[in-house]
Amino acid sequence: MSKPSKSGARISGWPIATALAVLCIFLYYVRAVLLPFVIAGALGFVLSPVVDALHSRFPRLPRWGAALLVYIVVLACIAAAGYWLVPVIAADFADLANHAPELLHRLVGYFAVDGRLVLLGQSFDADAAVNNLLETARSYLLGPGAITAAAVGVAGISAVVLVLVLLAYFLISGPRLGRGLLWLVPPNHRPEMRRLAVKVAPVLRRYFAGLVLVVLYTSTVAWIVLTVAFGLPHAPLLAVTVGVLELVPVIGPALSIALIGLAAVQQTSLPAMLGLVAFAVGLRLSIDQLVGPLILGRAVYLHPVVIIFAFLSGAVFLGVLGLVLAVPVAATIKIVLSHYYEDERIA
C-alpha cells in the first residue's frame, strides 16, 4: 500500500474560491475592529527589514531583542512628535473653534450679494442663515454631540493603545505570523504563494513606507510655506490636515486643494490669494510628478480609473479600512495577474 503524500491531497480551485468568499464575508462583518490590526500590521511589515538587519549586524542579539530595540525607538519618535505637535495643533483647533462664527460669516459674505445668499433658486438672508446654522451646531455640541465626541475620543485612544500593543507582537513574531499565514494555504499551492510573496512584499513595503514619507513631505512643506511665506493663522493645523488627506486617494488631494482654496478666499490682498492658489497647484504637481513617483516607484502605478473604482469599492465594502487598503489590494491584484500572465506591462 502506498504511503500518503506529505504535502496532502491536492485541493482544487472551487474549495479555495469558496474559502475566499467566506473570508470576504467574515471581514465585512468584523470591519469595525480591523483598522488597528491593519495599521499595526503595515508598520510591522515596513519595519521588519530593520529588525532583520539589526539582528544580522549583531548576531549575538536575539531577534526579539532587535525587535524590542526598534519598538522602543518607534515609541520614542511617537512620544517626541506628540509632545511637540499635539499642543500646537490643539491650540490651533481651540482658536479656530473660538473664531468659527467670524470665519463663517466672512466666508458666506464672499458668496452673498447685497446680504442675500441664493441657493437652488431660493434667496436667504446671509447673516440669519449663518446664525441659524451656528445655533443648530451649538445645540448639537452641547447635547448629543458632546456624548458622541467623548465616545469617539475614548475609542480613538483605545485604538492607538491597541495599535502600539499589536505593533510589538508584529515586530517580535512577524516571521512566525508569516509562516502561519502560509500554512493556511493548501500545501500544493504553497510554493506558488512563496514566489508571489517575493514579488508582492517589496512593492507593498515600498508603498506603505512611501505613503508615510509623502504625508511627512506634504505636511512639512505646507507648514513652512503657509507659516513663513503667508503667515496664515492656524497654519500648523491646516498643514497637518493637508498631509493626512494624502492617505485618501483621489478625494484627499481634492479636499486639500479645497482647504487651501478656502484659505486663499479669506485673504485680503489679491497677491496673497493668487500666491496661495499657485502654492496649492505647485504642491500638487510636486507630489504627483516628482515625490510620488520617486518614492513609490512605478511598481504600484495604476490607471486613475482603476484607483477610483478601487477607492469607491473599498469604501462601500469596508468603510475607512477600505479607503486604506484600496490601492494596496489593487496593486497586489495587478502583480498577481502579471505573474500568472507573465506580462509586466499591465498598468
Residue 125 backbone zone (phi > 0: left; psi -120 to 50: alpha; other: beta): beta
Q: What is the pLDDT of residues 66-97, one digit of tens each?
A: 999 999 999 999 999 888 888 888 888 888 77
Determine contact, residues 87/108, Cβ cutoff 8 Å: no
Per-residue pLDDT at 8 exceeds 60: no
Q: Can you read off the three cell numbers belonging to residue 262?
A: 478656502
Q: What counts of helices (H) and strands (E) characterise the chain?
A: 13, 2
Determine contact, residues 151/21, Cβ cutoff 8 Å: no
Q: Can you read off the three cell numbers belonging to residue 250?
A: 483621489
Name the 3-class secondary structure at 183.
Answer: helix
Q: What is the pLDDT of residues 183-196, one digit of tens each?
A: 888 788 788 888 88
Which residue in 177, 248, 187 sits closest to 215, CA to CA?
A: 248
Per-residue pLDDT at 346 exceeds 50: no
Per-residue pLDDT at 9 exceeds 60: no
Please tell me the distance from the alpha carbon of residue 284 to that of residue 275, in angstroms, as a whole number: 14
DSSP structure class, residue 301: -
pTM flag (> 0.85) = no
Q: How far is CA 36 from CA 42, 166, 283, 321, in A?
A: 10, 8, 30, 9
